[in-house]
Structure 1
């Protein structure tokens, strides 16, 4: 009898079981904030309530598509979408599939996911994530930057964007989990009864090399500035950046980008699957797939959202000039970088799945 129960009990699949409920809970909570802002509550973080954007109101819409939002208009929209999301999240978590729900629910989830991770974002989310390690290292070992506290980096508006980005990722995972339910695939690994060759593997190498090359374009310009080469930008602006340490900060960020570019190659190299010999204590051991997949996916979303903002800025200014290309052109390529890195990360994840403990499909690696 015990053996029979073991065979018939559905396997636990981890995150696909609860991700829809998480999306629903977050949507309900944020919808409640939308209602609060509609009724005159303080802390509206978009548009007129965004202190950073309102420092230059004429530039606000170029930076953010919500740069002109007001609580009277945006509040009810947020409240309505929050309520709708709460219902959709629960239905998807429960595998509801009647009628048009089979395509309406995942379509809604993906629209919300893209909207929260790319459309409403700007460069500030990337600033928070990228400059956190730079400031940690600078303050611990060099006492730099002087007079700049953590409150300057962790502004409420920026943290709000980071929360929205994480919510968007949750909605994307909710859509994936729901599609697996509909297809009868394993909720944990996504495999079905018949394993089909994925197009991801065909694009893995070109996507990885693209994701390697693009951040180096950005890094080269920032290293050049730190080394004293202005690359044709306005001399007064360049001199000001030298005085306040802006180019040194840019070089530090460029160094992280360069390291990240090299690590990206691990998505298609042997050392991305087995730790190399020079890593004492780890050499020869299997690299945990999520150690590469999670940061690569997060970076892909961050750079794509920031790249979308830079494209808006460049278009709004009438294009790139000889004086502005080092400032703006490398960042306009970030949308391609983000897309390529996401494809490369998903191909790596698919290739490294191994034997699934939930359904028993796949091969042990």
Structure 2
């Protein structure tokens, strides 16, 4: 097997991440106050990096970035595989936890409705069902306003909560960056390690389509317990909080409902891995409508979310057992959701074909 490997898209992306690691690590070294971990009084999600002082984390991140850039420039397969495995294991363990997943869920809940509404408004005129979708969206917004779920006062309080929470997004964002590095380096190492080997029968497109479809349906079903729990907040019998508490803090009810809808949207997007619109952009998507969906547009975010879910599975299980709240394992079935989504993404990639590392 040739030890020299020409540069392609994935190593370029990995090199970009490594350069970002150098920049971020250097910034933390120059401005220790901006180091996001181990802050006194921080009530966010704990992480293993809270145990490591910034005087160690910052230069270590710079070193990883420099080594990564050097490995990409060497174009040596053994070097890239070695570095990839080390980075994937180290950052995969250090960045594991609930915080990156919580950040992704909060961001989707806060900004997803705005992005979806804007996309529908711009693209609906080329879609037969556009007027119906817009009408439904307006009806839901009017109902939320008139019932007080999302009227002017609640929205103002919700915006205050969002802006006030922005400072707490630093550690989860940093963990997400590190976890993304683990995913990218792991993917590169895996591709190079398997390069030149014959594809097994289970990885053939027809076989991948079968088990990938089953995995996609399992992953999509995993959103339902959490979604249904949040939807009880629309009733006089909410689960997880009392009706009196939600009446006092209506912005929390709005946030919970948006989180439930974000989970449902994730389930719908999962089904795109086995649907036609997961291969060709639908008509309501502006500019891109009718064009093939690039594999990376589905594989990269899908794989990252699968890793986020899987990374959160162990701490969530530990918390559930420690508190005797075993229902959490059903409401948050990360132990099943993450692996199932990962298999669905892998099946999608194999079914559509994967380019070799060139």
TM-score normalised by the chain length of structure 1:
0.69
Instruction: Report if the CA contact (8 A) 1:23-1:85 is conserved.
Output: no
Report the CA distance shift for 1:262/1:42 in structure 2 as closer, same or farther (over 3 A): closer
- The equivalent residue for 2:187 is 176
- Quick one: distance in 2 between partners of 1:164 and 1:272? 29
Deviation by residue 1:132-154 (Cα, 9 ceiling, x = unmatched) = 22574899975452233342242
Higher relative contact order (CA 8 A, sep 6+): 2
Instruction: Report if the CA contact (8 A) 1:207-1:343 is conserved.
Output: yes
Deviation by residue 1:53-96 (Cα, 9 ceiling, x = unmatched) = 4xxxxxxxxx3134864xxx522331353244134313431234
- Quick one: distance in 2 between partners of 1:68 and 1:166? 16
How far is 1:97 from its partner?
5.7
Number of residue pairs matched? 314
- The equivalent residue for 1:58 is none
Question: Would you say 1:253 and 2:228 are equivalent positions?
Answer: no
- Unmatched segments (≥5 aa) in structure 1: 1-9, 54-62, 186-191, 360-365
**Between structures 1 and 2, the one with greater helix share:** 2
How far is 1:353 from its partner?
3.2
CA RMSD of aligned residues (A): 3.9
Deviation by residue 1:174-208 (Cα, 9 ceiling, x = unmatched) = 3433454566x4xxxxxx47444455826413321
- The equivalent residue for 2:235 is 227
- Quick one: distance in 1 between partners of 2:181 and 2:273? 23
- The equivalent residue for 2:249 is 244
- Quick one: distance in 1 between partners of 2:117 and 2:344? 34
Aligned to 1:349, the other structure's residue is in SS state helix
How far is 1:271 from its partner?
4.2
* Equivalent position to 1:216, from 198, 210, 224: 224
- Quick one: distance in 2 between partners of 1:271 and 1:288? 12
Report the CA distance shift for 1:30/1:335 in structure 2 as closer, same or farther (over 3 A): farther
- Unmatched segments (≥5 aa) in structure 2: 119-140, 142-150
- The equivalent residue for 2:174 is 163
- Quick one: distance in 1 between partners of 2:98 and 2:64? 17
Instruction: Report if the CA contact (8 A) 1:275-1:284 is conserved.
Output: yes
Instruction: Report if the CA contact (8 A) 1:131-1:253 is conserved.
Output: yes
- The equivalent residue for 1:131 is 109
- Quick one: distance in 2 between partners of 1:13 and 1:266? 27
- Quick one: distance in 2 between partners of 1:44 and 1:283? 42
Aligned to 2:156, the other structure's residue is in SS state coil
Instruction: Report if the CA contact (8 A) 2:280-2:289 is conserved.
Output: yes
- Quick one: distance in 2 between partners of 1:30 and 1:278? 38
With 339-348 and 261-270 compared, the bigger mean Cα shift is at 261-270
Instruction: Report if the CA contact (8 A) 1:211-1:341 is conserved.
Output: yes
How far is 1:222 from its partner?
0.9
Aligned to 2:53, the other structure's residue is in SS state helix
Question: Would you say 1:14 and 2:26 are equivalent positions?
Answer: no
Deviation by residue 1:98-117 (Cα, 9 ceiling, x = unmatched) = 6xx57642321211341355
Instruction: Report if the CA contact (8 A) 1:92-1:178 is conserved.
Output: no
- Quick one: distance in 2 between partners of 1:180 and 1:139? 38
- The equivalent residue for 1:32 is 26
How far is 1:351 from its partner?
1.7
TM-score normalised by the chain length of structure 2:
0.70
- The equivalent residue for 1:121 is 99
